[in-house]
Structure 1
Amino acid sequence: MLDHLVQCRYDGTVTTLTAPTPREHELLATAAREFATAGFEHASLNAVIRACGMSKSSFYHRFDSKQALFDRVVDEAAAALAHELAAPDPAELAGPNFWPRLEAFVTHAVAALAKPAWYADLGKLFYLPDVSAERSAAMRRLLAGVDGWVQAVLKAGRSCGAVRDDLPASLQAELAFAMLQAMDRWSVAHMDDMKPAQRRRMASAQLGTLRRLLAP
């Protein structure tokens, strides 16, 4: 899972969300699992409300629709994942250790994602067949953040000679982003079938494939 292992930077800035209360955390975690299991359209708000022991009036005081709840789940999951992973500042990657630093980050990310955590459902939410970035403002923000980070990483790599510069930067970024999304989609679909050691090898192989595309 490479394409969402980055800090959530929206439009060049870091979006800060108010930390959820324990009650809100329970609601978000329950909703994340419901969406990940049932999909967006078939997810049951009543099931979420019952599981959290809430009244409907209390729920609708917080969220006026299923879409609003979904977007809040994505925003909070992305923020929690960003905090856990602490993706490196792209500018700090420039130098002779560009690729080893990226590999160290991926290794750390795979280990972090192996820990039981509610926000681990983010990958599944991102590839639900019945919801898209066109429909979800939170997913658009997340995509923009990932895209911006990838472009900044490539710029840092090009500046130090670790990334080839024979292609226009914009084309190179599109190719890299498309490959990352394809890898991530496959990984999310097969994550539950892989043991930790297999996940590490797969992440390393994915980064190696990306490096063969991008390195001079």
Structure 2
Amino acid sequence: MARTPKPLAPEREELLLLVAARHFAAAGYTGTSLNTVISEADWGKSSFYHYFSDKRRLHDHVVRTLAARLTQKVQAPDVKTLSATQFWPAMTELAERLHQAGQRRPETRFLGEMFHRPADRDDGALQDVRDQVDQWLRQALKRGRELGVIRNDLPYELLTELTLAVLRSLDRWTIDHKRPLAPERSIALVRSLIEQR
């Protein structure tokens, strides 16, 4: 009968999570040395392998944990329920909540850095997060067009690419410079490009 490992002490797990997140953010999955992470987190290899079978399990645990922390604090609006008058205020409120979450939990920055790294064939759970964000954004743009608050003079795919490019640039600026634009200014910039005139 397989033995179930004892629960991991929260402070040990947190240290491993933060060290691993920092390395995955800086070097990506492929470029991160598991031995370096284990050593910096002051874990023994046998202890690590007691809880995680390999680097992939650790990477996916880090991504899922940081994403869960973020979504506990920040719920994206259900775009299907938004009216034309609610649409842009809801987007501004979402940007504000994301900004506040990053201020309260600085390790959220590591998730942002991981999210914006060039895609790696070994991204695992990180690609799942990217896909979820992309899907939500596409739904929001589609709903905005249905409501008449987002321009319809551009092909939908081009509009999506433009919006993603601007949002990624704003996100990278925040991560790289640690001084974000105010959320309402970020949304105003997006609106200036995609709002129906």
Instruction: Provide the TM-score with structure 1 as the length reference.
Output: 0.73
CA contact (8 A) 2:141 2:150 kept: yes
Match of 1:56?
45
User: Would you say 1:160 and 2:165 are equivalent positions?
Assistant: no
Higher helix share: 2
Q: How many Å apart are 1:83 and its aligned residue?
A: 1.5
Stretches of structure 1 that go unaligned for 5 or more consecutive residues are 1-19
Q: How many Å apart are 1:190 and its aligned residue?
A: 1.0
CA contact (8 A) 1:164 1:215 kept: yes
Bigger Rg over Cα:
2
Match of 1:17?
none
User: Would you say 1:89 and 2:78 are equivalent positions?
Assistant: yes
Match of 2:114?
125
CA contact (8 A) 2:144 2:150 kept: yes
The DSSP-based 3-state class of the residue aligned with 2:153 is: coil
Q: How many residues align?
A: 188
4+ residue segments displaced more than 6 Å: none
Query: Is 35-44 or 172-181 further displaced after alignment?
Result: 35-44
Distance 1:174 1:108 in 2: 24
Identity %: 36
Q: How many Å apart are 1:51 and its aligned residue?
A: 5.0
Q: Aligned to 2:136, which of 149, 161, 181?
A: 149
Distance 1:200 1:171 in 2: 25
Distance 2:112 2:53 in 1: 25
Distance 1:185 1:135 in 2: 22
Distance 1:137 1:46 in 2: 20
Letter in 2 for 1:145: Q
RMSD (CA atoms): 2.6
Stretches of structure 2 that go unaligned for 5 or more consecutive residues are 1-7
Instruction: Provide the TM-score with structure 2 as the length reference.
Output: 0.80
Distance 2:30 2:155 in 1: 40
Distance 2:58 2:15 in 1: 13
Distance 1:112 1:36 in 2: 18
Distance 1:40 1:159 in 2: 39
Letter in 2 for 1:212: S
Match of 2:88?
99
Q: How many Å apart are 1:52 and its aligned residue?
A: 4.5
Greater RCO (Cα-Cα under 8 Å, separation 6 or more)? 1
- Aligned pairs for 1:24-63 within 5 A: 24-36=13-25, 40=29, 43-50=32-39, 52-63=41-52
